[in-house]
Amino acid sequence: MSIQENLERVRKRINAAALRAGRDPEEIKLVAVTKKTSVEVIKEVLALGIKSLGENRVQDFLVKYPQLSPDIEWHFIGHLQSNKVKKIIGKVSLIHSLDSWTLAEVVSRAACEAGVVAGALLQVNIAGELSKYGLSPDETEAFAGAAAGLPGIELRGLMTIAPECEDPEEVRYVFRQARELAKRLKDNIPGIKMDLLSMGMTGDYEVAVEEGSNILRLGTALFGR
Ligand SMILES: *Cc1c(COP(=O)(O)O)cnc(C)c1O
């Protein structure tokens, strides 16, 4: 299948899932996860109308970034080491993976020094997987309250990665809990935004849409393996 066919199929499925949930498909952003793809392949997906790209490694991002249009909206979706923050500040529009207080402070300082505001999501480890980064749901509210006060960071919402599974219904609870947690933070923390929910990958994005995701991070579904 070509990337174009893949994209058409993905868009149809997103639309159908949104309609099942009584949602407007237009409010769901598709981020093409371009890790392991070449600049040539990325240009192909851009030509098909994709405007947002996601990378999970700073090194790879830094190779691709200067070769592509400055109009691309870049999303940093992987674990971010504090010593690499400076390299991406001002270049990415959203960091999906704030997962420690140290990192939040470093992002804040780097953004202030660069004179920009860094959009960011808190990564939450809903399923409590030891193999994954992310805040535990229990600590997220206190963390969000404190992070909302850091200069240079605009906290926009939550990101979560569901466990791998055969049947996406098995991880519906992950997406539902993330949505409920975001709502709780919005209700309890004055002035906090919490308008973005980044959840849903190739194996589970339709369920994520049904549970309220508005940013899908799709790699394999678009580029194949
Ligand atoms: C690789 C990756 C994705 C995309 O995964 P696919 O299953 O290929 O769609 C999404 N989010 C993160 C954080 C990733 O690292």
pTM of the model: 0.98
Query: Looking at residue 30, what is its pLDDT?
Result: 98
At how many degrees (to 10) do helices 137-147 and 172-188 cross? Answer: 40
Q: Is 42 in the pocket of ligand 1 (CB under 6 A)?
A: no
Mean pLDDT over residues 163-184, rounded?
A: 98
Structural contact between residues 58 and 32, judged by C-beta atoms closer than 8 angstroms? no
Three-state DSSP string of 29-95: EEEEECCCCCHHHHHHHHHCCCCEEEECCHHHHHHHHHHCCCCCEEEECCCCCHHHHHHHCCCCCEE
What is the tens place of the pLDDT at every residue in 95-151? 999 999 999 999 999 999 999 999 999 999 999 999 999 999 999 999 999 999 999
Mutation choice for ligand 1 from 14, 31, 33, CB with most ligand atoms inside 8 A: 33
Q: In the structure, what pLDDT confidence band is assigned to residue 85 with cuts at 50, 70 and 90?
A: very high
Q: Is 220 in the pocket of ligand 1 (CB under 6 A)?
A: yes
Q: In the structure, what pLDDT confidence band is assigned to residue 80 with cuts at 50, 70 and 90?
A: very high
The CA 25 to ligand 1 mean position distance, Å, reads: 21
The CA 67 to ligand 1 mean position distance, Å, reads: 22
**Which residue's alpha carbon is nearest to atom 12 within ligand 1?**
77
How high is the mean pLDDT of the chain? Answer: 97
Q: In the structure, what pLDDT confidence band is assigned to residue 23 with cuts at 50, 70 and 90?
A: very high
Question: Is residue 225 scored above 80 in pLDDT?
Answer: no
The conformation of residue 163, written as its DSSP 8-state character, comes to: P
CATH 3.30.1360.120 fits 3-223, yes or no: no
Query: Looking at residue 147, what is its pLDDT?
Result: 97
Q: Return the domain boundaries, the chain.
A: 3-223
